[in-house]
Amino acid sequence: MKRWDQRPFEIRNLFNPAFCGLVLFRAIQGYEEEDSRGLPFSLSLLVLPLCLHKNSRTILDDNSRSYLLNIIEKSPQIQVGFADRTTSMLPYALEAFGLLMERGCILVTSEGRLQTITKKVRKSVTGTSETISCQRTARFVGMQFARIADRVTIYTTFGIRP
């Protein structure tokens, strides 16, 4: 990964660690609404490729009253290139986790689950329509991951070998 000042302007804006961290934080919050133990780290790596990819986010937003497995079944285009997007987003996710940890916004349990720390991030979802959409989708994804409650099923659904 290139140093921050050597990255293209577009990359610095789109994959800003603070914004990526906020998206991840919202997913962890969504997961905790269903399962207070926290989001497994392995599932957290799927959040950014789903929430920052406009086509995937649009499909998830349009079907937010449905279950994630049904959405993927009806819209298999989400799976196209998903494994590659996940791999390419890994450095940005790790950078965002580093910022969240440094700022004391999340903690890692002994079981490898991520939990939010209360009163560290505003509860209100604000920003542009695009950033609000990313945050809301992240919360939805987190809740859906908790409802499925099986990492192998989730990874297999997206066409990734666990």
What pairs with residue 76 in β-bridges?
A: none
Weakly modelled stretches of the chain, pLDDT under 70: 162
* 93: its two tokens: 């996710």
Supply the pLDDT for residue 121: 87
pTM of the model as a whole: 0.93
**Residue 162 confidence (pLDDT):** 63
3-class DSSP assignment, residue 114: strand
Q: What pLDDT shows up at residue 74?
A: 95
CA-to-CA distance for 88 and 4, rounded, in angstroms?
A: 17
